[in-house]
Amino acid sequence: MKHTYIYDEGQWTAEGFYFDENEARYEVYGETSVIREREHRRLEGFMDVSFSQPSRFTNSYKIYYGKSPDLMEWESFNPGLGTLKGKFVTNGNTITSSYTSNDGSVTGWEILIQEKSGLYKNVGVCYVNNKKLSSWCVVLKKR
């Protein structure tokens, strides 16, 4: 099955749950745009979390074409975490990603499992100074 997320341009929605460092669960809704540019892909998105004071997290990625079609390096800027660098690796119906900040204080990973074209399950976790900051479990759907 050909991957559609990250590889193809398009608009995506995300719905599911966000978990804080204490495992408190919050509903989450997000949107992402994947845009192809000459030397890289761009991923622009947001995630709205239903805290008692709803919050919006934004992210902006540059995803660089790899020497191999199953490996892409990326760099993102998140206003709360700073610049992160990571890799997307595809294997069958799965895309995995791991990342770290320049100083190594922020690390994490995520897994995207393609259920069918235009539909992925996504789980991930983020650590700051080796302590869990957040995790998530969402379904991504192409519009």
Task: Reduce the secondary structure of the chain to three states and give it as a string.
Answer: CCCCCCCCCEEEEEEEEEEECCCCEEEEEEEEEEEECCCEEEEEEEEEECCCCCEEEEEEEEEECCCCCCEEEEEEEECCCEEEEEEEEEECCEEEEEEEECCCCEEEEEEEEEEECCEEEEEEEEEECCEEEEEEEEEEEEC
pTM passes above 0.75? yes
What pLDDT, on a 0 to 100 scale, did the predictor assign at position 18?
Answer: 97
pLDDT of residue 62: 97
Q: What is the mean pLDDT of residues 54-66?
A: 91
Q: What is the pLDDT of residue 109?
A: 98
pLDDT at 69 over 90: no
Confidence of residue 94 (pLDDT cuts 50, 70, 90): very high
